[in-house]
Structure 1
Amino acid sequence: MADDDEIILSELSDDELVQQMHDDLYDGLKEEIEQGTHILLERGWQPYAVLTEALVEGMRIVGEDFR
């Protein structure tokens, strides 16, 4: 990693990346979400899996906390 505070998304495993994307959605980090989406697609994930497992699930978590 570049330093203690910076997370290099491309160095994360798929599971870690999806969890990080959930956190980034919660924090409203648009650029990180876009980057994570591209990484998963480049790793061979199907668009529907990226949508449901990373993006929609992350928004579900946000929705529960802001209910």
Structure 2
Amino acid sequence: FLICLFGLLSHYSDISDMSVYYSISVFSILGMAIIIIYVCISISISIDERYPDEFMNQDQEMYFPIHITDD
């Protein structure tokens, strides 16, 4: 992705090298931040779906890892 972006930006002759490198660094930083945020959100959603009682019953999880719910 960054190689294609660099190729597209390098075709413009009116853009200097410093602005090209600056824009590439800004785009890469924004892309990495978006990817990290997306991964964290997806991991937290999957943890909430798989273990909904993990954060509520952390003390019981240590001693009884298998929950047997008897209402």
Is the structural similarity TM-score above 0.5? Answer: no
Higher relative contact order (CA 8 A, sep 6+): 1
Larger Rg: 2
